[in-house]
Structure formats: C-alpha cells, structure tokens
Amino acid sequence: MGRLLIQTLFVAGLTLLMAGCASVERYTPIAIAQVHVNMDKSQYTVLGTVKGTSTMDSFFCGFIRVIDGSHVSLLGMKFFEDQYAYYNEKPSIFGVSVEDRAYYKALCATPDADALLRKSSVTQESGTFLLYSQKEVTFTGKAIKYKAD
C-alpha cells in the first residue's frame, strides 16, 4: 500500500512539473495618454510608428537567463553589456525588465527620436513550472522629436 502511494505521488509530481502554461496580454491605453505634451505643434515633429521586441528565457527558477536569444545572465550576473531605457517609473528590484529592453529597442529604431508615445504593448508568456519560462514583449508607439529653440 505504501509503495502504491509513493508511485502515485511521484507520477502526480512529475505531471505537475511537466505541465506547461501560456498567456498573452495585450495592452492599449484607453483614457489617459502616457505622455502629456504641453507644447505647440510647431515645437515637435512626429517621426512615425516604431516597434521594439525583447525576449527572456529563464531556466531553473530564474538562476540562468538568456536575454534576446544570445545574452546570458547567471545568478543575476550579466556577461554582456545591457542596453535599456526605463519604461516604468519604478524599476524592478529584480533588475531590468523585458519591457524596459523592448522600449529601448523601439526608441533606437528611430535614432532621431527624443521620446515615444505608447500605442500598445503585447506580452506573451509560456513555460513549465520552476524549470523553464519564456517572456516576450513587443512595444509599439509613435516616435517624436523636439525642435530646437
């Protein structure tokens, strides 16, 4: 009887570890704009729509992270030069977020841009409990350039 219980618990635990999950979150601001521009139309130029995407694969409870397919972080130590711009007002205690990297890539898509007006962002997450997770964020917005005085 004890052996059957142990086998059942083992199979249940193995099933729990092998079960995966996935989600997609699409966000578009509805009421309030991200940036309030208190300027005349002659003081800035809208450069066009830009898009930036960043990914992070996390292994073994986040001890090993692969960022954008080729950059490795081990136990929080980065072995690459990280490039990001703080998209969120309060940075995470866990370091730079995938959203911050996607925002930076969208900003870099138009080198003359001074700021981005957010249009939408899409977050896709999938993985297996404790072993592996993947997060991909795509940021879309309008690039604007301030005119010199």
118, containing H or E segment: strand 115-128
Confidence check: pLDDT of 104 > 60: yes
Question: Which tens digit of pLDDT belongs to each residue from 3-35?
Answer: 888 888 888 777 766 666 666 666 655 444 455
124 in any annotated domain: yes
- Tell me if 88 sits within 8 A of 115, measured CB to CB: no
Give the domain extent around 63: 21-146
**Distance (Å, whole) CA 13 – CA 37:** 54
62 in any annotated domain: yes
The tokens for 77 are 């130590």
Token pair 């929080």 in the structure block, residue? 76
**Distance (Å, whole) CA 30 – CA 71:** 35
What's the alpha-carbon Rg for the chain, to the nearest Å? 21
59 in any annotated domain: yes
